[in-house]
Amino acid sequence: LALSASGALAQTYNQITTTDAITSQAFSLITFNTFDELISGTSPIDVGAEIGQSILFTSVPVTRIGATNQDLGDNGLWGARGDIARPSNGNENTLVSTPTGDGNFVASSFITNRGEFGFSFATPVSSVGAFFNQFQQPGTSNNMLDLLAYDASGNVLQSYRFTIDTDPDGYNEGRFLGIQSSSANIYGFGVANGTIAMDNLMITAIPEPSSYALLAIGALILGAAGRRRRIQDRRFPFQT
């Protein structure tokens, strides 16, 4: 349990590496399956219609929303996941389940590792994560993927760096990665560095029960300290 200098309960953050950290509670899922190779520009794109919320997507430089394929070098390929926007047999349910989601996804092709795309939430969330993979140069295994959580003013609350190393001949492989806060204070989620493939953005607005337990313990500690001070003041009213 950590208290700030002012006595308030400090925020704590954790990296997410499994879907259980989010799916164990009520969550919302954005699949990007309703987008079809939409190229992001300079204006934000609202991708939250699928869950009835305003979630703005921005990218510098450009990114494809609703991508259907992505070469990831020595990390294999993403593609052939089905496509509800262009059904091949007249049936709109042609999605193909893979270890990293189905249907269309988000894909960047940043020339340098200085690119970043991200999501801004109208309502703050406590956890955010997705399936990821990243282009890896042949013969290397040191690619770096950065995830960042932002506050309402655009300041970085927390960031984590991950490495993704999958089979060069693999198809739709990757890792589930994200950031979790002890309270719903995340207004933005950024993804940076290199060529990235991402699918199934998951968010939760309510912290896990364990976070509530920490908050309750903190409140009890602060309450007990306050009671001790009041008792001391009554016993020694002139003490300074």
Given a contact cutoff of 8 angstroms between Cβ atoms, the answer to whether 192 and 156 are in contact is no
Instruction: State how far the Cα of 188 lies from the Cα of 201, in Å rounded to an integer.
Output: 13
Does residue 61 have a cis bond before it (omega within 30 degrees)?
yes
The neighbouring-strand residues paired with 148 are 159, 190
Residues of the chain short of pLDDT 50, as ranges, are 1-7, 211-216, 218-219, 222, 238, 240
Predicted local distance difference test score (pLDDT) of residue 194: 83
pLDDT digits (tens, 9 = 90+) for 31-49: 999 999 999 887 999 999 9
Predicted local distance difference test score (pLDDT) of residue 222: 47
Q: Letter for the amino acid at 25?
A: Q
Q: Strand 105-108 relative to strand 175-181: parallel, antiparallel, unpaired?
A: unpaired
Predicted local distance difference test score (pLDDT) of residue 139: 86
Give the length of the chain.
Answer: 240
Integer CA distances (angstroms), 167 to 101, 126, 138, 143, 224, in order: 17, 32, 11, 14, 55
| Placement of tokens 């990243």 in the chain | 134
Q: Which tokens in the block code for residue 139? A: 């013969």
Predicted local distance difference test score (pLDDT) of residue 85: 59
Instruction: State how far the Cα of 7 lies from the Cα of 26, in Å rounded to an integer.
Output: 31
Q: What is the DSSP string of the chain?
A: --B-TTSSBPP-EEEE-STHHHHTS--EEE--TT--SEEP-SS-EE--GGGTS-EEEEEES-EEEEE-EEE-BTT-EEE----SSS-SSS-S-----BTTBSS-EEEE--SSTT-EEEEEEEEEESEEEEEEEE-B-TT-----EEEEEE-TTS-EEEEEEE-----TT-BS--EEEEEEESSS-EEEEEEESSSEEEEEEEEESS--HHHHHHHHHHHHHHHHHHHHHHHHHHH-TT--
Predicted local distance difference test score (pLDDT) of residue 91: 55
pLDDT digits (tens, 9 = 90+) for 118-168: 999 999 999 999 999 999 988 888 889 999 999 999 999 999 999 999 999
Sign of CA dihedral 134, 135, 138, 139: negative
Predicted local distance difference test score (pLDDT) of residue 87: 54
